[in-house]
Chains A and B, each alone.
Chain A
Amino acid sequence: MTTHPRQPRSPQLPRLLTSVEPTLDAHHQRFGALPEITKPELISALDAARLSGRGGAGFPSARKFASVRGAKPVVVANGAEGEPLSAKDAVLLMRAPHLVLDGLELAARAVAADKLYLYVPAHAAATVGRALGERRRARIDRHKPTVVEAPNTFIAGEESAVFSRIEGGPALPRDRTTVAAISGVRGRPTVVNNVETLAHIALIARFGPHWFRSVGDPDNPGSMLVTLSGALTKRGVFEVPTGALVSDLVERCGATDPKTVRAVLLGGYHGRWIAASAFDSTPVSGVGIVHALGRHECGLARTAAIADYLADQSARQCGPCRTGLPRLATLLTTLAYDSTDHTCVSEIRRLADLVDGRGACRHPDGTARLIRSALDTFSNDIEHHRHRRCESAVSAPPVKDERCSAKAATS
């Protein structure tokens, strides 16, 4: 790998978020120009770095590029981020668009791509457009990406929904019989990378796999962006080593006493609830999203609100999801706000099992995962609710027909 003569110092932590100015000059000053790296060099560097995707699935990036088979491959940078609890992609695109665009250019070289797409929401389009303009004038890219606007829906970032939208249709999932590496956009071999993954690729190409692996979990190394929200003193997007524990994020990044936190929703609306007792044994994995539920808030009420949102966000193309998710939301609302018996919980479990795995995309699967984890993590509270009490209002007298004092706000 040829290195740039006046190479800037490799960043420790933060890495991606050292950028403050989104301009090309600031980018080159901080990180240096994109090195001339060949396709086999790049793939071998990514393989040695053990970089895995930062979009949630965590698939090894080198394998993903190597599995592309066929003519006229397509590369897509996915910045859709339909998850309301996540802001990392938006922040990255605003602060370091050139890292993402470097990564996209590298990805294009890695698969000898014919077409490049940037799939970003409306609010990022202007920044991305400006960055592309700068690069065009500086003539640093061999390829010219097309920007496609992603709608602001939860499932807009789902892989087949991305393909559909790029092809000019609606951003709704499609039936899949082959993997994207064989058939994606317009039937061509396609690689979709989360924008954060591309940013890491841009840095690995400059500073090497050894540098990349110097922080984080040895099995899945590097840094990752995590969005903190909820009942925390400090909220926002932070860059942490992979394998960081939930307790670290709450205490150090969130500047919050963990004793004030009832539970944490890890991984967003398709993630799982982590009880306070498990904070220091649970690393952040999947999508970097940590949403804290305060002691004064009710986990069941919050889950009911999330389930309601998820039911609403269903593409409504597939029977089990379209029929089952609204029923699950209704049952959870009943569980959270009315006094119920144990059949409610078993009915919720039965429905969660019924929708899981039965649809064109993983929306029902993720919803089922969230709901099951809520039933497990808040099982004590379920008992309280049956007696018209709530753990979040322990000091308050038992409620009659009022909802418990928690504000079940959707973020």
Chain B
Amino acid sequence: MIDEALWAIGRGTGVMALAFLTISVALGIGTRSGRSLFALPRFAVADVHRFAALAGSILVLLHMTLLFFDPYAQLRFVDFVVPFLGAYRPMWQGMGTLAFDLLIVIVLTSLLRRRMGVRAFRAVHWVAYALWPIALAHALGNGTDAYRGWFLAFAGCCALTVGAAVVWRLRGDFTEYAEVRMSGRT
């Protein structure tokens, strides 16, 4: 019975992690806009972005730890860092590992942001645009509930959220002062 609990909560934390990482990516794009969003002042948008990333990271760690102790997942320690070596669904499992590797890079560079300088930090942080789809693919491919209606609806919401944010990112009026700052010269 413990096994089933581990399996259930192990997967549940994974789903929650994806939710928080989705919020983090969307708000990360929001931070870039320099706008106040959803009644949050700008500094709060940045703070919630970071909080969601932190929550997501903790949930990922829980997700990995719980599944490590679950015999069904057949995880070895090496599977936490080196992708595609897993016994259970190696490709989708590997994507999870890859996503975790990228998450480590993003979290570490975020903590060292001031030392790295803006340019280096931004270059590395763009990896988030790779992290999220890989995490989503892992959830859909590796998750045993992937065929269930509720999960598909949930995954759809995540995809819609990030998709909408990306579409918004590509608009010309994305940043708050973009139009005002265009040169006054004719």
- Once the chains are docked, how many angstroms separate the CA of A319 from the CA of B181? 9
In contact, A326 and B181 (Cβ under 8 angstroms): no
In the assembled complex, how far is the CB of residue B179 from the closest CB belonging to chain A, in whole angstroms? 12
In contact, B185 and A329 (Cβ under 8 angstroms): yes
- Once the chains are docked, how many angstroms separate the CA of A329 from the CA of B185? 8
User: Which B residues are CB-close (under 8 A) to A311?
Assistant: 185
- Once the chains are docked, how many angstroms separate the CA of A323 from the CA of B186? 13
Q: Fill in one digit per residue for B2-39: 1 if any A CB lies within 8 Å of its CB, else 0.
A: 00000000000000000000000000000000000000
User: Which A residues are CB-close (under 8 A) to B185?
Assistant: 311, 326-327, 329-330
In contact, B181 and A330 (Cβ under 8 angstroms): no
B183: interface (CB < 8 Å): yes
User: Which B residues are CB-close (under 8 A) to A330?
Assistant: 184-186
Q: Fill in one digit per residue for A329-346: 1 if any B CB lies within 8 Å of its CB, else 0.
A: 110000000000000000
**What does DSSP make chain B's interface, helix, strand, loop or mixed?**
loop
- Once the chains are docked, how many angstroms separate the CA of A327 from the CA of B180? 12
Category for how many chain A residues contact B: under 10
Q: Fill in one digit per residue for B170-186: 1 if any A CB lies within 8 Å of its CB, else 0.
A: 00000000000101111
- Once the chains are docked, how many angstroms separate the CA of A98 from the CA of B11? 80
Nearest opposing residue in chain B for A329, CB measure: B185
Q: Which residues between 314 and 371 of chain A lie within 8 Å of chain B, taking CB atoms? A: 319, 323, 326-327, 329-330
Q: Fill in one digit per residue for A290-322: 1 if any B CB lies within 8 Å of its CB, else 0.
A: 000000000000000000000100000001000
In contact, B181 and A327 (Cβ under 8 angstroms): no
In the assembled complex, how far is the CB of residue A394 from the closest CB belonging to chain B, in whole angstroms? 30
- Once the chains are docked, how many angstroms separate the CA of A326 from the CA of B183? 7
Nearest opposing residue in chain A for B181, CB measure: A323
- Once the chains are docked, how many angstroms separate the CA of A323 from the CA of B184? 8
- Once the chains are docked, how many angstroms separate the CA of A194 from the CA of B181? 36
Nearest opposing residue in chain A for B185, CB measure: A326
Q: Fill in one digit per residue for B146-186: 1 if any A CB lies within 8 Å of its CB, else 0.
A: 00000000000000000000000000000000000101111
- Once the chains are docked, how many angstroms separate the CA of A283 from the CA of B161? 67
Nearest opposing residue in chain A for B184, CB measure: A327
User: Which A residues are CB-close (under 8 A) to B186?
Assistant: 330
- Once the chains are docked, how many angstroms separate the CA of A90 from the CA of B186? 36
Residue ranges of B at the interface with A (Cβ–Cβ < 8 Å): 181, 183-186
Question: Knowing that A327-B183, A327-B185 are A-B contacts, what are 13 other residue pairs whose CB atoms are under 8 Å apart, sorted by A's residue number?
Answer: A311-B185, A319-B181, A323-B181, A323-B183, A323-B184, A326-B183, A326-B184, A326-B185, A327-B184, A329-B185, A330-B184, A330-B185, A330-B186
> Would you mind naming 15 contact pairs between A and B with Cβ atoms under 8 Å apart?
A311-B185, A319-B181, A323-B181, A323-B183, A323-B184, A326-B183, A326-B184, A326-B185, A327-B183, A327-B184, A327-B185, A329-B185, A330-B184, A330-B185, A330-B186
